[in-house]
Structures are given as C-alpha cells and as structure tokens.
Amino acid sequence: MPIIIIAMVVLIILTLILYFKLRSGFMKSFQQLDKLDEVPQRYIAIVKCYNNDYIVEKEFQEGDFVGKIVGECPKCRNKLVIEAIFAQYTYRKR
C-alpha cells in the first residue's frame, strides 16, 4: 500500500513538472507574443548627392519621401536627394 501511494505521488509530481516545462496552449503563446512584438524605434533617411560624392544618414522628418530634394551638396553644390528610407526595429513587451 505505501509503495502505491509513493508511486502515485511521484507520478503526480512528474506530471506537474512536465506540465510547467512543456506548457502548451495559450499561456505559452502569450509569452511568445510578448517577444515577437517588433516595433519601429526610429526612421532613417539616407541622403545622397546626385554626383555620388556625398552620403549621409539623417533622422526621418514628416513630409520626407524617397526622391525628395533636401538641399545642396556641401562638396559639389549639386542637389542632395533622399535615396532611401528605412526603419530600425526594437523588441517591446506589449
């Protein structure tokens, strides 16, 4: 009789360990969702001279777009244009 009780207790403990170790269903998915929430941290615009002699990265401003002329090149006085815009991402908990 005591052997059966001990075996049952061991079985219950093992089951509980397995449950918490390999938690399935929506609890585990919530943890994964927290990790997966990727949000843009900052937007960067790559500004380039038409003559390709000057390139600089700047913070994106409202109204910027690829192909927008944003000034004069400090080296050759040609036009500076936004060549590309991209976002830097970070992971955030919801």
Partner 1 sequence: MLTVFQQVDNWNTILSLLVWVLFFLYFFTDLPQKTQFYRYERGVATRLALIEGLVSESVNKVKSYLAKLGIKNVDPFVNTTLENYFVIEPVSIEPIDIIKRLDHIITINEQKFKQDLERIAPSLSVHTRNNVAVSLAIASALYTIYKILRHYYYLGKKYENWVLLMQLYLIMPQLVRELMPYSRAIDGIIRGVPIGDSAGPMVAYKLMSTAPRIDIEEDTVYSVVNIEHRNVYIVKAKGPGATVGKPGKAVAKLAEMLAYKVSRIITIDAALKLEGERTGLVAEGTGAAIGDPGPEKIEIERTAVKCGAPLDAIIIKMGSDEAIKPMKREILEGVEKAYQIVLDIIKNRTKPGDNIIIVGIGNTVGVY
Structural contact between residues 59 and 45, judged by C-beta atoms closer than 8 angstroms:
yes
Site for partner 1 in 2-41 (CB under 8 A): 25-26, 29, 32-33, 36-40
- First-last CA distance in the chain: 51
- CA separation for the pair 62, 85 (Å, rounded): 12
**In the range 37-76, which residues lie near partner 1 by CB under 8 A?**
37-40, 43, 50, 60, 62-68
Sites of contact with partner 1 (CB under 8 A): 1, 25-26, 29, 32-33, 36-40, 43, 50, 60, 62-68, 81, 84-89
